[in-house]
Amino acid sequence: MQAKYFRIALWLQLRALPFGIFFHSHLHFSALAFNPSGRFHNSNMSFTKKAQHETLLQRVCRGGDKETIRRLILCMHTDKLSTLTRSVDIITIQQSDVKQEIDGNVLFFAARADGEECQCEGYLIRNINGKGPVEAQIQCHGGSVDHDHFIAIYHSLLLHYLEMEQDENDAFSECGLKCFYSIADDVDLGIFPSLLDDDNDGSFSLGLDLPKYIPFLHQYSFRYRGKETGHTALRILDKLCQRRAPYRFITDSNPNIDGIDIDDNSHRSIVSFLKQTLSVDIVERVMEQVHIIRKNQWLSTNPDSVDGLPSLHLNLISDGKPLFDTMMCSNEDDYNKDEITFEKCIHQMTSILRPHLYEKLLPAVRELSKSNSVQILDVFIRNYGNMDAGDDHQLDNSANVEQEVESKTRYTLSPHYDITAFATCVMALDSTAATGRSGLYTIPPTNGVTNNVALRKFFPLDKGDGVVHTFNILHGVDVDPKLNCPRTSLIVWFTDYGGDDDDGDQERSTSEELHVNNTANANANANAYNNVNQPWLLNPSNAIDEFVLGLASECNEEEDGSHLKLKKSIDSLSLNLSSASKGNIFAMVKLGQMCDDAELPDIHYEQVRSFLEDFDPSNPFIPAPITSGSTVSDDGDDDNSRACKNLATALWYHASIAGGNRSAQISLADELMLQYMTEKEDLTTLEQENMLLMASTLFTMSLYQGYDSIDSLRRLMDVNCQRLLDLGVLIPSEEFFEDPVVKTVLLSL
């Protein structure tokens, strides 16, 4: 009876709008006990299914039992299994978290999978003193062990480690994880060995090459959607997206320079750490003015160009000219008055910072970029996090500021490229980012160039430290709300219009002077730069540069119309096609949207279809090639005239799985829901379930990356409930909660 009421209560929460946060636990348990000798003992396998559920629900109502051993149902991979089909075979995983001391180590978790003629066991072992990395040891013996038994055990160990890491925070996460395994020579582990990397993130390492493992995990969870093996993969994705790992600067020949991607055309991607760019004294003097501005609510709330949220910034220098170079007062007596004004605060900060920016920072950036024509364009201050707490929790909360400021607080800035600046320097004005777990992050470029949240690396910046990066470095901001403190930074944008500036004049005091010099440089290099606003974007040498150039030509707009010079100088469609053909996920997402909106000319159909097939022949959404002899008409009557529109789902699938792009995941899931609603009458029962499973899995992937897909999941659940009612399933009931779509939605929440 208790189990029945629990299920009904859960169903009532499920129907609520918006969704609540549900406790979803596995519905299959058996009473297993771990024998310290390394054996697993099944103490009672006579439970009926109903009795197992009732026992579980009783334990749930009591708050759970840490020593309960879970029985997971995992599906087995088969070589010829299509991505759009689901396996019905299972692998049973037995787990134990009973601790046992062995030779100075603590074995704190074990898992085992038994096959017909084989056995695969895995253990998590840690030094009794907590020193060194946690070891994941996997042993397979007793016959032929296939790839799936091994992966099932590995995922069980990895998920448990990530859960422990999250629960124990820094005390556990800095240990790292290393994997060791022992298998017979005839066991084929597929690509798994290539996913391991023992020196990936130092003390935060998972022993994995994450840029390779994340696409593998996406594919695994999508392939085994609705099965417990797929759910385990999704739970691992969730944990990986919540991790906050620090960026590791290269410390070889120069500890301050982390140069990437130097090519024959002198295009260079730079990520460089600058220690104490600003002294602590300078930072404190600047922050005194920032505190005054916060207290008086003078922060700009204009929409940010990246995400449209309040920018919470302060402009100090724009287009090379200080915002208040001379005080806007009628005479010196007005300036010396005790009255605090916005103009005085900005002027004071600019005066404090100006010598350090032009005499120290600018020469450093010129040296890094090997260009004497680099100039300072804009200087501004950005604010994130809980500003009510103040820097180091010392901000005066008087004057009833708290409620108003908190309503304008922002914690994140989506990953993006600074397309209007050749280079950017971000300097920390507090210690919020000192540990490399909060604040500014980058997503290092991979073969697919993705913005997946699980690949973020946070820059460790203490008060006064800075990091310089070029326009082609993907970056964003995510301040950990748990820190309950603000994150304030000084940002400098640089331009480089080409030519050499050997006259020693490092500072441009007026925007007019800067414009004259920059125009002269551009004219001197007209053949190379075409006199555009961002000449450094021209002549792209790789997929990232091509995409950024195309993006800049479409996004930038200047009042004087100068942005049209760049727009007219390049072909943005050709750039996106070229970038996508080289694996750039952002370009694929854009092409997918163009295909869906019927904006991509059908003449490019075979070009796009061909590179998609080269990247992943198993992509289930790749349409057939245009039949020989067929022509593409302009009147819209021929099906082939809509050929490129049929490529949208294939592009989104590759961007979702190989790239982990959350926008693509949402787009593909929405398209699947649309297809379901329009074609459900022609689909079999299994096809209906499968289409909803694909959509729910994709919505869940995007949710874990921070996309608010709750409403989409609610609507999907409503659609699925109607499907189940049509099949005669009672809602709520045991059969309802066993439905794979319901399980996936509950898992996501």
pLDDT of 738 higher than 50: yes
pLDDT reported for residue 388: 62
pLDDT tens track for 41-72: 332 222 233 333 333 333 323 333 333 323 22
Cα–Cα distance, 221 to 377 (Å, whole number): 46
Residue 244: name the closest of 480, 594, 25 by CA. Answer: 480
pLDDT of 623 higher than 80: yes
Cα–Cα distance, 281 to 32 (Å, whole number): 62
pLDDT reported for residue 70: 30
pLDDT tens track for 266-313: 457 899 999 999 999 999 999 999 999 999 989 888 877 777 777 888
> Which pLDDT band holds residue 519 (cuts at 50, 70, 90)?
very low
The one-letter code for the residue type at 288 is E
pLDDT of 24 higher than 50: no
pLDDT tens track for 642-688: 689 999 999 999 999 999 999 999 999 999 999 999 999 999 999 99
3-state secondary structure 510-529: CHHHHHHHHHHHHHHCHHHH
pLDDT reported for residue 512: 40
Using the structure block, give the residue that is written with the tokens 């979702």: 656
Measured in Å, how far apart are the chain's first and last C-alpha atoms?
A: 25
Walk me through the domains of the chain, giving residue ranges and CATH numbers: 28-48+66-243 (no CATH), 270-515 (2.60.120.620), 533-570 (no CATH), 574-659 (no CATH)
> Which pLDDT band holds residue 89 (cuts at 50, 70, 90)?
low
Of 503 and 550, the one with more pLDDT: 550
Of all residues in the chain, the percent with pLDDT exceeding 70 is 71
pLDDT reported for residue 528: 41
Helix, strand or coil for residue 12? helix
pLDDT reported for residue 312: 87
> Which pLDDT band holds residue 34 (cuts at 50, 70, 90)?
very low
Cα–Cα distance, 531 to 522 (Å, whole number): 5
pLDDT reported for residue 72: 24
Cα–Cα distance, 502 to 495 (Å, whole number): 16
**Looking at the DSSP assignment, which residues form a beta bridge with residue 488?**
383
pLDDT of 149 higher than 90: no
- Judge whether 410 and 526 are in contact, CB under 8 Å: no
- Judge whether 125 and 106 are in contact, CB under 8 Å: yes
pLDDT of 559 higher than 80: no
- Judge whether 488 and 430 are in contact, CB under 8 Å: yes
pLDDT reported for residue 486: 86
Cα–Cα distance, 403 to 397 (Å, whole number): 10
Q: Which two tokens stand for residue 464?
A: 């006064």
pLDDT reported for residue 636: 42
Cα–Cα distance, 588 to 660 (Å, whole number): 12
pLDDT of 364 higher than 90: yes
pLDDT tens track for 163-221: 998 887 556 666 889 999 988 777 778 888 999 886 555 567 899 999 999 999 999 99
Using the structure block, give the residue that is written with the tokens 């993969």: 233
